[in-house]
Amino acid sequence: MFSVKSFLFQAVSLWTLTAGQTCSDLNLTIYQDPADIISYQYKTGNYMACPAESQYYEYHPKVFGGYKGCVSEAGFYPCAQDNGGITNPYLYNKTLFNWNGTACLPTGYALENRTFNIGGGNPLDKFELAKRTGLNPTVSFPFVSGPYPSYSLGAGESTFDDTSSAKQKAYDLLTYMGGFKEADRSKWYVGWTEGAEQGIVFTIAGMALSIAQTTCNRNIFIFNEVPSYGHSISEAAVWVNRQNSSFYNSTECTCFANNSCKQPIVILSYVGWFPGNPLPVRTGGDGLNYTADSNSLASPWMETLVYPENPSGLLKTPVLPRASRRVCDGCYMWNMYMGANNFTYDGLTLPDCSSWAFAITKAVSASIRAGFVLFKKEGAGTNGTFPTAFTTVMNTQTSLVYGSYSQWSWMGQVQYWDIMMSRPWTDPTSWIGAYTVLMKEKWKALDDGFKDCPVVRLTNNNQNAYAFFVHKPAYQGIQLSTSGGNSLLWQQVLGVLSPTYFGTFKGADPKTYAPYEGAGTYDFTRVNLYRDVSVYKEIGRRAKIVCSNLDAKIGDFISVNQYVAANKKTTRALREKLEDPSHTMHHSKMMIMENHPDFTEAQAHRMAHSLHKSFEFDKIHDAECAPDFSMSCRVMVERKYGFGDF
């Protein structure tokens, strides 16, 4: 690669005027890859000016004093670091730099003793992927059309659609990775979304609407083999109830007696289930009881699958017998997350689903809100069928009042897919190939670090994008049931903020699942693998230290034995005192120091602070996110009430 500026200077300086010539006679043509030029201008790709998890940015003069330099990728906050922990009350600002209003000042902390926020799923692999692929990932949006966009969907699909070619390209991507077969292309419709989260909730609403239009059911139950990710099903119910005039109404329905069948009364509920337990039973809208695996069309059951699952990484097998009652989330159906099948689709039969929701999020950037839904054509155009009901939901939610889908969203996706597919995915310099190697390195760092650890066990090495840890029997029951949803063990001992993911069980008891060895709902920790690879190597290093010597400490954090002693003797008692408004953080701190003289004042303060903030978070979270406890609601609470960036 070469500098565009220096190239232009050299080209012009070598040209000299002859007698009678003027500068207007200069005709200089330069052919250069636009992606190279743009990457050079923005100091990214092969011209990256900032370290991992940061980017170069120039602020408006009225923002941060017009600062120019490295900022965090998440939040665009000044300084060359991820901003996780800068305003996070759980992490005590143990970051590399502090912004003092005019400059980034070193704090004295380094990789070896700083804190890490690994709570959500923010992809921060740009630095490594650009280096390993040599690519300058860039999309461009030429001004090609001025009218409102023209789209068609489902049974109404036609060639009078701006995205006819883009829809075929979407399926090309799926066959490129090996999950979907070319022979099945004609069986599917494609619809556009702003990410898999939106897409799967669209499909859940479409399935629920189909059930409400064809059966007596208004209490619709979503079967989930757990642990499993939680979507915003209360929002899906709102979309369904807007179509209440189309609901089924007949004498066999219990709602018929009070003339409520066509009222907006649909309620969606998750029902969690662990393998080895009896299948759950629920009462349908006709007054009859139905087991989850009922084949009856009158059943109140539907099923969702995240494939591979978040957080377990399992490639789950469907339980409901009818694919016409199942919608699937393909957010993680990228080869680098298919470790459960050796990172390929070879020999794998995908679940039979009525729809799949995909996004570019987990392969590139969560900032790019773009994705698509694949849904079966079978039954399209017939009232009450899933493809018809789904089309109704999606056409409503993507109308102009909600923001019609931008041309730039589908055009940008297509350009990025072309970048990905420019090399075979098995090539380690391709985007997916490089990402696969990178994920293997992260998994190895964690697996090596926690190998033979007496405290926790990694349950899912190499599977998906999340490491799912469970407390071993001797350490089960120590984690508080109210911890702000975060693991206090990881926070207080390892200096890492990561969630317990307690809502992932949806009412099912993990004690009934033999592989978890009697663990309870709060004996788990989910660690995302989207931070830079150096973070996981550092966590692995710390784990080796505290797992091999339970009295060892990382920096000024506490040891495993101190954590256990504090939780058994003090924090549970403190939890009860937090109900009393007169009990302050200072009272908690003094109680910890009195009961545990081996704690420093700073350590006691951190634990007291964490307990109080966690209690505060739990109250708000329970009030605003019940009964779904979806991840999107958790993120909203953290951002809205200042509990730290996610």
What per-residue confidence (pLDDT) applies to 308? 96
Q: For 536-576, how does the pLDDT look when each residue is reduced to its tens digit (9 = 90+)? A: 999 999 999 999 999 999 988 999 999 999 988 887 788 77
What per-residue confidence (pLDDT) applies to 451? 97
Other C-beta atoms lying within 10 Å of the C-beta of residue 159: 6
Q: Is the pLDDT of residue 1 over 60?
A: no
Tokens 């602020």, residue located = 59
- Phi-psi category of 478—alpha, beta or left, where left has phi over 0 and alpha has psi -120 to 50? alpha
Residue 23 pLDDT grade (very low, low, confident, very high; cuts 50, 70, 90): low
Check if the beta carbon of residue 280 is closer than 8 Å to that of residue 274: no
Which pair of structure tokens corresponds to residue 254?
A: 């219990």
* Whole-number Å distance between alpha carbons of 110 and 472: 31
What per-residue confidence (pLDDT) applies to 169? 97
Q: Is the pLDDT of residue 27 over 70?
A: no
* Whole-number Å distance between alpha carbons of 600 and 603: 5
What per-residue confidence (pLDDT) applies to 278? 97
What per-residue confidence (pLDDT) applies to 462? 94
The torsion defined by the Cα of 249, 250, 256 and 261, in degrees rounded to 10, comes to: -10
Residue 78 gets which letter from DSSP? B
What per-residue confidence (pLDDT) applies to 13? 44
Residue type, 261: C
Tell me what the pLDDT averaged over the chain comes to.
89
What per-residue confidence (pLDDT) applies to 2? 43
Q: Which has more confidence, 395 or 216?
A: 216
Least confident of 26-30, 50-54, 259-263: 26-30
Domains annotated on the chain, with CATH: 173-409 (3.40.640.10), 431-640 (3.90.1150)
Residues 6+ away with beta carbon under 8 Å from 220: 208, 211, 212, 266, 267, 268, 269, 300, 301, 302
CA-to-CA dists, residue 302 to 115, 290, 506, angstroms: 42, 12, 15
* Whole-number Å distance between alpha carbons of 527 and 466: 5
In this prediction, residues 268-282 reach a mean pLDDT of 96
What per-residue confidence (pLDDT) applies to 62? 96
Q: Is the pLDDT of residue 494 over 70?
A: yes
Q: How many helices (H) and strands (E) does the chain have?
A: 16, 18
